[in-house]
Amino acid sequence: MRHGKKVNHLGRKTAHRKAMLANMACSLIEHKRINTTVAKAKALKRFVEPIITKAKAENNLTTEKGTHNRRIAFKSLRDKLAVTELFSAVSEKVADRPGGYTRIIKLGNRLGDNADMAMIELVDFNELYNADKAKKKTTRRSRRGSGTKANVPPVAVEEVKTESIDTEVKADDSEE
């Protein structure tokens, strides 16, 4: 039974597990996505999301609170370059997101030992997923039908079509 056991120990001692998660979090912040096993990805998600929340809160607070949050993040990450990247680029991208900064995508099994593999990535840095959502927000339709079609007279559209057909016919005649 696993009553009250909320931490996945990942088959490692405490110091080894904390060092591994810190290194993986630094790689995730630096490269924006990494490949790992599903169990490590889930553990990393629980490790890195509170740190990103602290980085995001730094923008809204005074300098003293910002310095305190940087020190808390440095205590967990232990890498000055990763903390700088986290508090500059990553915190700006996730400023309007209320949570859920990472996404886990399962990739299948590893060839050598058949371990379940996954890709964990920062959600706002994936251009493929975010491009579709941006397009959906820009298109809006009115119920009254007073769009751009009502402003353009239909005669002008017909004239353009007939002129293009006439030029194509003249071009075909000149080739013979």
Each domain of the chain, given as residue ranges in start order, spans 14-127
Taking the complete model, does pTM exceed 0.75, yes or no? Answer: no
Of 60, 95, 77, the C-alpha closest to 22 is 77
Average pLDDT estimate for 145-156: 56
Q: Are 44 and 120 in contact (CB under 8 A)?
A: yes
Of 58, 63, 19, the C-alpha closest to 40 is 19
* Segment 72-112, tens digit of pLDDT: 999 999 999 999 999 999 999 999 999 999 999 999 999 99
The CATH class of 14-127 is: alpha beta
Query: What is the token pair recorded at 174?
Result: 């000149």
Of 76, 94, 74, the C-alpha closest to 84 is 74
Reduced to 3 states, what is the DSSP secondary structure of residue 83?
A: helix
Angstrom distance (rounded) from CA 79 to CA 73? 9
* Segment 51-70, tens digit of pLDDT: 999 999 866 555 667 899 99
